[in-house]
Amino acid sequence: MPKIRAIVFDHYGTLVDIWTNEEKPEVFHYLALYLQYYGADIDADMLRYELKSEKAKHLKSRHERYPEVDLEVVFKNILTKHHLGNPFMAESCCRLFRLFSRERFQLFPDTMPVLTEMKKAGYPMALVSDAQKVFALEELKMLGLSQFFPYIVLSTYLGFRKPDPRIFGIAYGLLQIPPAEAVYIGDSPERDIQGAKRSGMPVILVRNARRKDQETEADFYAKDLWEAWEWIKKKDSR
């Protein structure tokens, strides 16, 4: 394996310990009440149905193997149906939807110290995430992660998501480093290993053990980011 010159990270589940429940009745109840304040004739059940329907339409229009939904566009379409044209309402609906559905949102204990060590060691870093741009960028700032990532690649901007190898290619292209010299660290066997390996990058899988049914294996399985960092340092010290 060539010398590792850059590190590309997944976001949620790798750096951020998050749990959301987007099916909770309260999510639709409070969001429908919010829209009623602006004159929308909508209740929780109608909002749930319209959100599901608009998401399906939006994904179908993408014509991608791994299409990504843009939640802001979805809410804009719903609001248009209810004659609500305020351009800021779709953004606020997305963020309220996220806030109401979020049950756990914090950094893993090893995230900040490991990123700090990597930055001190001089590794350029990028972030690749299947995430909604309407709230993901702000969440990076909230958790203090923006300082580590001059390059952030979000699926919402592209219309496709992992494991499409193109999304990984954009990251190492921004870093101006060959894929074999940029290691990818993620937590999903399906999305992270397959996509990154197909793009030519070595992969470290964290917080997940190797499974027998996996089609593609990672180069290293780490129980946490500290173990991943030790592996990178050993590779580069040879």
Tokens coding 197: 């390996």
Judge: domain 6-17+106-236, CATH 2.60.40.10. no
What pLDDT, in 10s, does the model give residues 141-187? 999 999 999 999 999 999 999 999 999 999 999 999 999 999 999 99
What pLDDT, in 10s, does the model give residues 68-112? 999 999 999 999 999 998 878 999 999 999 999 999 999 999 999
Residue 238 confidence (pLDDT) above 80: no
Q: 71 with 54: CB under 8 angstroms?
A: no
What pLDDT, in 10s, does the model give residues 185-212? 999 988 999 999 999 999 999 987 777 7
Backbone Cα Rg of the chain: 19
Q: 20 with 99: CB under 8 angstroms?
A: no
Q: What per-residue confidence (pLDDT) applies to 3?
A: 87
Domain boundaries, the chain: 6-17+106-236, 20-103
Tokens coding 234: 């050993």
Q: What does the angle CA 116 – CA 137 – CA 226 come to, to the nearest 5 degrees?
A: 25
Find residue 205's DSSP bridge partners: 186, 221
What pLDDT, in 10s, does the model give residues 20-39? 999 999 999 999 999 999 99
